[in-house]
Amino acid sequence: MTELKDIKAFAFDVDGIFTDGSVLAMPDGDLLRTFNAKDSFAVRMAWMNGFPVGIITGGCSESILNRFKMLGVETENIYMLSRNKIVDLEHFCKRNNLTLDQVAFAGDDVPDIPALKAAGLGICPADAVEEVKQASDIVSEEPGGKRFVRDLIERTLRAQGKWKFDPHGSWACLYPDHLAAFADKTGKNV
């Protein structure tokens, strides 16, 4: 098993990882999800520290794409409608000049098991299905959608001495250009 200090990138499923697994089905067919702000902050911290972040999900919606783009995840690292998560995980690694053993993959359900086993570090939330818990290297004490992502990223960055936040630093210069321009134009919090 790869140790936290050796991790160079993160890849995540979405439903049951960033969310508690609940979805609200809208009349137009879109599925609404609720994301935890602490998990989102951790993704920004990973991005700010140079860790590529991949999203590998069977879901597909503009809201997924837009949410992760807002957090700094490159569009090319967002894999929706994933039917074979190992193929997408390998593509993520190749695109970011990584090996599988340098990546922590987080999943919570049966379709995630092959990627959990292939990644250097497979981690799941406390409320993952039993088969996933057995396939994972680490079972977090946190449930999906309730600080699980924060737990994984913060533990990893702390193990590498990179969990640091300067409240006086300029965050605007670290946001992707389209978000900084939106914030400047509207004065809205992004």
DSSP code for 23:
-
CA distance 74 to 66: 11
CA distance 92 to 19: 22
E-assigned strand segments in 13-75: 24-25, 31-32, 53-56
Whether 187 shows a pLDDT value over 70: the answer reads no
Q: Render pLDDT for 68-83 as a digit per residue (tens, 0 to 9).
A: 999 999 999 999 999 9
Q: Render pLDDT for 8-42 as a digit per residue (tens, 0 to 9).
A: 999 999 999 999 988 888 898 888 888 999 999 99
CA distances from 52 to 31, 49, 139 (A): 26, 9, 22
User: What is the pLDDT, as a whole number, of residue 175?
Assistant: 53
126 neighbors 138 (Cβ within 8 angstroms): no
Crossing angle, helix 37-48 and helix 148-159, to 10 degrees?
Answer: 30
CA distance 49 to 184: 24
The CA-based angle 48-51-53, given to 5 degrees, is: 105
Whether 172 shows a pLDDT value over 70: the answer reads no
Count Cβ neighbours within 10 Å for each residue of 138-156 and write b for 16 or more, e otherwise: bbbebbbbbbbbbbbbbbb
What structural domains and CATH numbers belong to the chain?
4-185 (3.40.50.1000)
Q: What is the mean pLDDT of residues 154-174?
A: 78
Whether 184 shows a pLDDT value over 70: the answer reads no
User: What is the pLDDT, as a whole number, of residue 26?
Assistant: 86
Q: What is the mean pLDDT of residues 98-114?
A: 97
pLDDT band for position 133 (cuts 50, 70, 90): very high
Question: How crowded is residue 27: how many other Cβ atoms within 10 Å of its Cβ?
Answer: 5
User: What is the pLDDT, as a whole number, of residue 146?
Assistant: 94
